[in-house]
């Protein structure tokens, strides 16, 4: 939504989602998983090269390596 309350009509969702889903699949394979779950999407987001999102993540000390370790710890119980 934009400030007017209208949905933003100009995003190219294919261009946004395809790289994210591809990276999520890579993250899954790196962890030895045979599925793509929300944890893999989070890891893909943490590895993004989208400048505004990367800046936001860096401002909050969110890195791919720290996120990956948290996911691995969580999955191991």
pLDDT (tens digit, 9 = 90+) per residue, 15-60? 778 889 999 999 999 999 999 999 999 999 999 887 888 888 989 9
Find the helix packing angle between 38-46 and 51-59, rounded to 10°: 100
Q: Is residue 62 part of a domain?
A: yes
CATH number of the domain enclosing 31: 1.10.1780.10
Domain contains 5:
no
Q: For residue 57, what are the domain limits?
A: 13-76
- Compute CA distances 32 → 29, 40, 46, 63, whole Å: 5, 11, 19, 21
Has residue 3 been placed in a domain?
A: no
pLDDT of 9 reads: 67
pLDDT at 7: 67
At residue 11 the predicted structure's pLDDT band, cuts being 50, 70 and 90, is low
In-domain check, residue 49: yes
Q: Closest by alpha carbon to 66, among 43, 44, 48, 49?
A: 43
When divided into structural domains, the chain yields a total of 1
């Amino acid at each position: 939504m934009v400030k007017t309350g209208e949905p933003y009509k100009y995003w190219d969702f294919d261009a946004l989602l395809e790289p994210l889903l591809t990276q999520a699949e890579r993250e899954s394979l790196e962890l030895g998983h045979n599925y793509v779950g929300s944890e893999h999407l989070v890891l893909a987001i943490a590895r993004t090269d989208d400048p505004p999102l990367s800046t936001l993540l860096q401002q909050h000390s969110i890195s791919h390596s720290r996120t990956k370790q948290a996911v691995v710890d969580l999955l191991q119980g």
